[in-house]
């Protein structure tokens, strides 16, 4: 069943109607009132954030925004290899193989992620990753350049090459991270997450404006619903020692915040113990990613996971010399077994880690 085609239809319909109206591009409309049915469709399909109030926008904003939404990958059999030359294989997981490559047109280094199967499941993973990355524009999130099918029918995405090493590689090589170096990395990861998670105060600020530019309108869709990465772990975090930046990769299981918890693809050890997979009353929310950040920081600072394998409800304190008390407390809180005890925003987690340490003794 081509679910996705169905999803896109209301948008297409909306576009033709929006563009068909005989008014100038600068006409200001309130499009939830002007196109109530399309608005409801778009909200239902998760293409637009919901909410009772909608801002007034000009027709040209609607048009530019719809054009932006429709930068859909070309699903025709596209020869990725005509444009991108594969140079060296850098990874193979159950999901994909990743190659370092070169864009023959720009000469730039790229990462070509080729999914291992040509099944509809693989296509949906690749499309999810493409859709999410197209929606996000942030220096700490990997940039997508292209989506297509390789000649075997397997989906492939082409990403900007990120210099550095995945934290998993550094951990495997036995690299020791002092607590303050680990904390620096933690702040980077949390800043990256604060840019993709929902941001209700920014949404309210944008809603209160009488008119929005296309960038602001796009930002409103983003901050209103936001994304949960769902697979924060060392292999998906690339650390560049020179620029001291983290880049977040691997969005193939990301969900809109608020979407129902319905699949089991999260990596064990990085998902909170109280997330009951396939529980329809539970929704993906930022605390899932923040829990995983806590686990990564435990690993970097102490070389151990917070939970003993036989006791998933009693996290230990992070072990390591010199770790300030507020950092210990914040980490313990981030991996608390119950959602109500964990952080619910990256900004709060950053604030707790950044508290001025108490002078001891």
Residue 301 · residue 333 · CB < 8 Å: no
Question: Which of residues 57, 111, 167, 171 is near ligand ADP by CB under 6 A?
Answer: 111
Distance, in Å, from the CA atom of 182 to the CA atom of 333, rounded to the nearest integer, reads 17
Q: Is 270 within 8 Å of 232 (Cβ atoms)?
A: yes
Q: Is 250 in the site for Mg ion (CB under 5 A)?
A: yes
Which of 32, 199, 236, 302 is in the footprint of ligand ADP by CB under 6 A?
A: 236
Q: Footprint of ligand ADP on residues 116-155 (CB under 6 A)?
A: 142
**Residue 192 C-beta: closest distance to ligand ADP, Å:** 14
- Residues 322-349 as b/e (b if ≥16 CB within 10 A, e otherwise) read ebbeebbebbbbbbbbeeeebbebbbbb
Q: How many Å apart are CA 89 and CA 101, to the nearest integer? A: 9
The answer to the question of residue 41 lying near ligand ADP (CB under 6 A) is no
Q: Which is nearer to ligand ADP, 144 or 290 (CB)?
A: 144
Angstrom CA distances, 341 to 65, 249, 313, stand at 39, 28, 13
- Judged by CB under 5 A, the stretch of 14-22, 99-107, 132-140, 228-236 that binds Mg ion is 228-236
Minimum separation from the CB atom of position 64 to ligand ADP (A): 28
State yes or no: residue 98 binds ligand ADP (CB under 6 A): yes
The least CB distance from residue 166 to ligand ADP, in Å, is: 4
Q: Is 95 a residue that touches ligand ADP (CB under 6 A)?
A: yes
Check residue 25 and report its DSSP letter: T
CA distances from 8 to 13, 41, 292 (A): 9, 10, 33
Residue 236 touches Mg ion, criterion: CB under 5 A: yes
Q: How far is the CB of 94 from Mg ion (least distance, A)?
A: 10
Smallest distance from ligand ADP to CB 184, Å: 20
What DSSP letter does each residue of 106-132 carry, written as one string?
T--EEEEEEES--SHHHHHHHHHHHHH
* Segment 17 to 36, residues that bind ligand ADP, using CB under 6 A: none
- Given the rule CB under 6 A, which of 40-48, 73-81, 93-101, 348-356 is the region that contacts ligand ADP? 93-101
In the complex, minimum distance from the CB of residue 293 to Mg ion, in angstroms, rounded to a whole number: 16
Binding residues for ligand ADP, rule CB under 6 A, total 18
**Nearest approach, Cβ of 98 to ligand ADP (angstroms)?**
3
Report the residue from 161, 179, 217, 298 that binds ligand ADP according to the rule CB under 6 A. Answer: 161
Phi, psi angles (nearest 5°) of residue 246: -100, 140
For residue 58, report the phi and psi dihedrals to the nearest 5 degrees.
-90, 160
**Cβ atoms of residues 135 and 195 within 8 Å:** no
CB neighbour list of residue 31: distance below 8 Å, 6 or more residues apart: 18, 39, 54, 57, 62
Binding-site ranges for ligand ADP (CB under 6 A): 90-91, 93, 95-96, 98, 111, 113, 142, 159, 161-162, 166, 235-236, 249-250, 252
Binding-site ranges for Mg ion (CB under 5 A): 235-236, 250
């Amino acid at each position: 069943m081509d679910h996705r085609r169905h999803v896109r239809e209301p948008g297409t319909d909306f576009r033709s109607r929006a563009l068909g109206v005989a008014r100038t591009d600068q006409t200001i409309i309130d499009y939830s009132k002007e196109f109530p049915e399309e608005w409801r469709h778009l909200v239902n399909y998760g293409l637009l954030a919901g909410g009772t109030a909608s801002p007034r926008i000009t027709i040209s904003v609607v048009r530019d925004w719809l054009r932006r939404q429709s930068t859909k990958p070309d699903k025709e059999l596209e020869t990725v290899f005509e444009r991108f030359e594969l140079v060296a294989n850098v990874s193979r997981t159950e999901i994909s193989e990743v190659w370092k490559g070169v864009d023959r047109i720009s000469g730039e280094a790229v990462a070509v992620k080729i999914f291992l199967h040509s099944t509809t499941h693989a296509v949906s993973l690749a499309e999810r990753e493409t859709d999410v990355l197209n929606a996000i524009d942030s220096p700490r999130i990997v940039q997508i350049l292209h989506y297509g099918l390789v000649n075997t029918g397997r989906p492939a995405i082409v990403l900007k090459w990120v210099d550095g090493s995945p934290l998993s590689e550094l951990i495997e090589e036995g690299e020791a991270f002092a607590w303050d170096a680990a904390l620096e990395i933690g702040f980077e990861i949390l800043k990256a997450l604060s840019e993709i998670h929902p941001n209700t105060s920014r949404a309210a600020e944008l809603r209160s404006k009488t008119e929005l530019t296309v960038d602001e309108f796009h930002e409103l869709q983003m901050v209103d619903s936001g994304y949960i990465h769902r697979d924060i772990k060392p292999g998906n975090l690339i650390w560049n020692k020179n620029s001291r930046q983290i880049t977040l990769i691997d969005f193939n299981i990301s969900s809109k915040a608020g979407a129902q918890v319905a699949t089991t693809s999260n990596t064990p050890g990085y998902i909170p113990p109280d997330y009951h997979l396939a529980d329809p009353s539970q929704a993906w929310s930022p605390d899932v990613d923040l829990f995983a950040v806590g686990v990564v920081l435990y690993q970097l600072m102490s070389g151990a996971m917070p939970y003993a394998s036989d006791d998933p409800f009693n996290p230990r304190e992070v072990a390591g010399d010199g770790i300030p008390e507020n950092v210990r407390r914040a980490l313990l809180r981030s991996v608390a077994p119950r959602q109500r005890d964990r952080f619910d925003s990256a900004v709060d987690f950053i604030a707790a880690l950044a508290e001025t340490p108490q002078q001891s003794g």
